[in-house]
Every structure is written in C-alpha cells, then in structure tokens.
Amino acid sequence: MTTVLAVANQKGGVAKTTTVASLGAALSALGQRVLVVDLDPQGCLTFSLGHNPDRVERSVHDVLVGDADARDVLVDTAEGVTLLPATIDLAGAEALLLMRAGREFALKRALAPIVDDFDVVVLDCPPSLGVLTLNGLTAARSVLVPMQCETLAHRGVGQLLRTVEEVRQITNPDLELLGALPTLYDSRTTHSRDVLSDISDRYSLPVLSPPIPRTVRFAEASASGATVLAGRSNKGATAYRELAENLLAHWVDGTEPITYTVSV
C-alpha cells in the first residue's frame, strides 16, 4: 500500500519544505518510488527541486480544478523524486474549491489514478489551515509536524492538532499523527531542549528521532535548486537519511517510529 504523508504546520519558517524535499530524496535513495506534491502557492518546494515556478506551464492548480490529469503534470527532478509542481495560480484554487461540494477530497480524487505508481507520496502543505491543507490531511495516511525549536514556533500547535482530530472525525478516520520533528535544533542550548520537553508534555506529542540540526547547508542547497543530500556529506543530510530509515521501518515493518528522548 502506498504511504501518503502530509507534512503540515501552519507556521512558516519551520523547515517544512526542506523536510519534504530532503526526506523525499532520502527515501528515493533507499529505493522507494517517491512523489512529492507542492501545495504551497509560493512554490518553494518546486524551486528547491530545480524547477522555476514562474516557468511551469501546468501545476497542481490545474489538477485540483479539473483542467488537467495529474499524470500529465508530473515532472522529474535531479534528486530521483517525481514532483507535482505549484505556481502562484494555486492561490486562486482555494477560492474555487470553496464553492465546490466535497472540496476537501479534491486532492485525493486527483491523486487516485497515479498513487499506486509510487511507494511514498509526500505532501508539502501550505503554512495555513485552509482548504489546501485540509485537502492534504484528507488525502494522507499520516501527518508529520516539523517544529522549529523556539518558543514562538510551537504556538498554534494545539490548533493544528484540533484540526487533525476534526479531519479524523469528518473526512479521514484513518489519519495517523506520527509526531513532531524538531528542526533547526541545537542540542547545546537549554532553550531548544526546554521547548521540546514542553511540546512533549503539553500535547502528548511524540518527538521523532533524529532532530534536524541547524546548518547553513540547507540554505545553500535550496539556493542551488537541490536538496542537502545532493552535496558533500554533512550533518543535515545524515539526519534526514536516518529519519527516512526510521519512517520506512515504521511503514514497511510496522515498528513504532523511534522517538527522541529530551534531556533537560
């Protein structure tokens, strides 16, 4: 069965897109057939994987509004993953979907003809809790919450968790909450460790291992239209490879995801 993973957090700047691109590349390197879907009108995932959103002729917008089949919009990337790209036109899709019955199921219906062609589908949800994110959560089998290890970064986590629970009750009863993924993490600082401990205690939310360290390699990789795995060995790439192995064992073997023990 194809695994569909939504990566969601309504706060921007938490390395959500970096996580989708890097995790997708790491899973591909493990022999998985990977599709990544850019649901953000800013098109950051599309750009990060070497495609200019301003020059993409068709995008996930055309798929969601019924003007194109998903298979005809897919593009290849140098990372070995297949991309369903986004353009700024996607900003208008939300308004169009609001007027349609069953709007939360638009993405699931659009992906249905191609989902079996892949082992893993990773959805990059926009930094909001609007219709596009609801489409991602409705289409997904599980959801991962990247979280920057700073106090303001976890404000609103409760709202996201309530949204996940509402999606379970209304449109996707099988949705699994994998947990929080610490990003931009510096284990040397007490603040980072305190934030993770607070998240784990306050929301009873598993903290997945390994935490993704803060490194300039992520910014350098995005600027070059590649993931951090494409360059020379670095701690960011190592962390995403370990995360991919952790999640793949969970999906294939049914083992519980390895969680991170927060020491404070």
Domains assigned to the chain: 3-253 (3.40.50.300)
pLDDT in the model for residue 12: 82
How far is 245 from 40, CA to CA, in rounded Å? 26
**Low pLDDT (below 50) residues in the chain:** 264
pLDDT in the model for residue 231: 64
pLDDT in the model for residue 24: 96
Identify the H or E element spanning 107.
helix 106-111
Tokens 């993973």, located at residue: 5
pLDDT in the model for residue 222: 61
Q: Is 187 exposed, middle or buried (0-12, 13-18, 19+ CB in 10 A)?
A: middle
pLDDT in the model for residue 219: 60
Taking the model in full, what pTM does it have?
0.92
Collapse the DSSP code of 106 into the 3-class scheme (helix H, G, I; strand E, B; otherwise coil) and give the result: helix
pLDDT in the model for residue 197: 77
